[in-house]
Amino acid sequence: MPAALHAFPCREDNIGVLIQDPTTGACAAIDAPDEAAILKALNETGWRLTDILVTHRHADHVEGIAGLKRRFGCRVVSPAKAADEIPETDEAVAGGATVKVGNLKAQVWDTPGHCRDHIAYWFSDDKVAFAGDTLFTLGCGRVMESTYEEMWASLMKFAKLPSETQVYSGHDYVLSNAKFALAVEPDNAALRARAEEAQAASREGRFLIPTTIGDEKATNPFLRAGEAAIAHAVERDGDGAEAVFKALREWKNRFR
């Protein structure tokens, strides 16, 4: 049976996600931004938490771990590069590992860029990827502890996935990302439609998470750094996509 998924808002702009194996009842939270929000989601779904899959060590992704561990005794899977910094870690993993939630299997990717320890989880059978703070709907994470080259390489791992792959990110920054994306590529009709969809979703109390790889490759400027229009917008005509990405990310850092 395919995985069951439930996404919900946490904190100010975090997105929490539960993934459940209907066959065994095993259920994982992707990160633990807020214990109360996760408990509410578990109550709404009727699922019982068995695992927490952590993408990176930042406080807004791990603060709920200790309380959930006390309540459920769940297994905590953390990136090996930060296992000593993440509370209650039971299993430390790095790129190339496989993590199971019941009968569901995820490949672990090293995705440095936003921070040195960042990992992602790719459930290939269900075509679902959990990107944490690496890839966002219409955007990408800040480069904080790694190089632009490392972040670009991490994004390209997602870009190679099938177009129908659903991508769950760790935050809802869609409206601000759409504003920046339109400043970069105002003539992109697919992007304009996506921005309008984001505005409608916000008015209705929804969010555009998950997104799909196909949608992101059509509208996300960071995955479109190889397009001539993007290079022209950042005055890097003739440069490679990686250089254009760096210029884009630096512009986004200053964009208001």
Kindly calculate the radius of gyration of the chain based on its CA atoms and give it in whole angstroms: 18
pLDDT tens readout for residues 118-174: 999 999 999 999 999 999 999 999 999 899 999 999 999 999 999 999 999 999 999
pLDDT tens readout for residues 180-228: 999 999 999 999 999 999 999 999 999 999 999 999 999 999 999 999 9
Is residue 8 a contact partner of residue 86, using CB atoms and an 8 Å limit? no
Domains of the chain in sequence order: 1-94 (3.60.15.10), 105-256 (3.60.15.10)
Q: What would the DSSP string read from start to end of 108-176?
A: EEE--SSSTT-EEEEETTTTEEEEETSEETTEE----SS-HHHHHHHHHHHHTS-TT-EEEESB--HHH
